Structure 1
């Protein structure tokens, strides 16, 4: 992000870019991660968030980022249901407040998701959309952005760009069961994916055993009866990996890569860099990402995007989807880069994950445990545990990041944290 003009960080997790808005429950759940956007704030910036941030968490963030609290503003938007954040701001009567905060300083909107409502809001408030030079440029990128956040749009583009894909077919939702049954004659298991979903939401895994005796397939109902779906062979996966890229005026650049932690196909965490046993796929991931970045740039897109892949038990990578937006790892990576800048920890290893404590804790109590155990992030060493997403509403499901000098050190600190916080299963 540019430091020459202020940014209005727009945490629009409630967006139709990644998931249909009728999936209100999962969108509301994802919106609980909005506090992590505080790590992006610099003097003069504004954060517009769908959930409030605690004073303890903000003091913690400002202390580590050395941002004067009085130099930034956090605007918490009252709940308005499963509607885009821009609509919630309007319904709360906060548009003029945001406009006044942005002022006439040439501020730009930094949305989590580039969608039509965010662009319309930027126009209403008199902002550009970061990193686009004009509102019109952002609008021109919207069609491709929406398309490449669908499973079918990605699959078509990936085939054109020469990426290796799991065998599969695209079909309308009413045909998904028939296509799945046909593919199960060739493969032991298949995965059925709704066109617009993220984080594994809505995917169904089906085996030949599921259709014995003529039983109906247990397919998810995400997205309703219409729209396109993808049915693919369910590979024997050894690791889920991703590379995060950025399209700029000077080209497409790799930012970082790593391994995803998943449970039943759903994203639960991330470690970077790639483990040595999967480092051999890094070059291919970057080649695919660079090709996709050129394709996006040709259609007007600028900014970050992620490319996910599955590495099978033979060590072969298969592209699985693209996330043309700020992903669950984009802001944590920015945080890690920021907290280690100027330190001896020039190439930090890091992870983000989630653990459940047996008993609820407040933010200050959790932070006190980190300090007492010497696990808390130490700015001098540029290592340690960061509570990067505020206290969870249940007091138990804590999101955290670990920053260290090596992957082995990350593992050691995570194990120690599991003991100190008494994580379930830890």
Structure 2
């Protein structure tokens, strides 16, 4: 039974205006799409923005036990944005559809797994007569995934489900934003403003009346000492904050020194299954994760899972099917406050379902900590793997410990993403510390 795997790792509902992405950002999106190889099994068909480097394909399939020679990779022709991401025009190209049908043996796939199930993906499922292969097709075909990935829609969903969220509101006009921001300022709080659609913290900005506030969950802090400064900021940034007035804006209280947590689920018709609880690493935006979460106690975990389960059940009743990450912050004074839901494959789904499921087997998974971080600078993917082996850091299938290179961004920014798998957090951190000593000069 064939699974059709679609690496649409950047869509407008994930990262905002695609046309505004830089060439480097587009290339990085294409490199991240190659991570879909982790989900492949023998005989599957992958749709990727460009062909994966053979050495990366062989490395991944070697760890998952997949025969790379049984996989088919179909790359659509270039589109308006080039060859780096699977923009909608590439997935609707008639020539691509003919080649995809041929790769599938002129039969509908048994299952479709996409990073994000937008209307382009549902249209592709319809063109292949494979509507039943796409989980939640009726909901997604009505643009439902945009509804449940909206940060503005999230606040309504959470409030309706009785799930705690940060004080704030959703606005549609600059004067509403001015009132919301100054009201929080007057109460002595800093503010986070969030684009309705974006990810990784890059669609967020922190506003403060005074300096000295460190950014977390957003790239920068804007100091606005008075009402006039807030008004000036909104006039300058309104186009960006609302995608030219097309989207709503979230204004909420910012909680410094919070821990960012998530609970990830797989939602099916019969119910939702918890697949992992983790902690995001912010510097100041997301650069990795550790799972299971290591810094929270039983009470905090219980609060996280209580709210997450209520959110996920609300999404299930609406008709959403697939992966959901319910994100939250553990604030310094104790409460867990939910911040958004990501209804798509996340940056940690491959860790939960593949590394902690296929690479590390069930007999060991409860005894392992997974610490994934991006940004290890290397001149090439093969050199990175070779150096890991020479340093004794490569993943050992016998001990079920070591470093796995999970994502290859060498062509985008000269780095790779690595996941350290160890018996405890200290050992995983030590592996990453040792990685830091394997600089580019030692990898040539």
TM-score by length of 2: 0.86
Residues 172-205 of structure 1, C-alpha deviations (whole Å, 9 max, x = no match): 1523244312321113310111111211122111
Task: Tell me the distance in 2 between the aligned counterparts of 1:166 and 1:342.
Answer: 37
Residues 352-397 of structure 1, C-alpha deviations (whole Å, 9 max, x = no match): 211242xx41111111100001101111111111111125215632
Partner of 2:203: 202
Shift of 1:105: 5.8
Partner of 1:121: 124
Residues 273 and 349 in structure 1, CA contact (< 8 A), matched pair in contact too: yes
Partner of 2:225: 212
Residues 174 and 226 in structure 1, CA contact (< 8 A), matched pair in contact too: no
Backbone CA RMSD of aligned residues: 2.4
Partner secondary structure for residue 200 of structure 1: coil
Task: Tell me the distance in 2 between the aligned counterparts of 1:227 and 1:269.
Answer: 28
Change (3 A) 1:148 1:400: same
Partner secondary structure for residue 258 of structure 2: strand
**Structural mapping, 1:51-200, within 5 Å:** 51-82=50-81, 85-91=87-93, 93-103=95-105, 104=107, 106-128=109-131, 130=133, 132=135, 135-136=137-138, 138-139=140-141, 142-143=143-144, 145-175=145-175, 176-200=177-201
Partner of 1:402: 420
**Structural mapping, 1:257-406, within 5 Å:** 257-264=277-284, 266-336=285-355, 337-341=357-361, 344-357=364-377, 360-394=378-412, 396-406=414-424
Partner of 1:232: 252
Task: Tell me the distance in 2 between the aligned counterparts of 1:406 and 1:297.
Answer: 34
Task: Tell me the distance in 1 between the aligned counterparts of 2:404 and 2:119.
Answer: 34
Residues 164 and 307 in structure 2, CA contact (< 8 A), matched pair in contact too: no
Residues 43 and 67 in structure 1, CA contact (< 8 A), matched pair in contact too: yes
Shift of 1:398: 1.7
Partner secondary structure for residue 390 of structure 1: strand
Partner of 2:215: none
Unaligned runs of 5+ in 2: 211-222
Task: Tell me the distance in 2 between the aligned counterparts of 1:394 and 1:37.
Answer: 17
Task: Tell me the distance in 2 between the aligned counterparts of 1:394 and 1:198.
Answer: 19
Residues 7 and 86 in structure 2, CA contact (< 8 A), matched pair in contact too: no
Task: Give the number of equivalent residue pairs.
Answer: 413
Partner of 1:254: 274
After alignment, is 246-255 or 175-184 more displaced? 175-184
TM-score by length of 1: 0.90
Residues 80 and 89 in structure 2, CA contact (< 8 A), matched pair in contact too: no
Shift of 1:269: 0.7
Unaligned runs of 5+ in 1: none
Change (3 A) 1:219 1:22: same
Instruction: Find out whether 1:34 has 2:33 as its counterpart.
Output: yes
Change (3 A) 1:306 1:130: farther
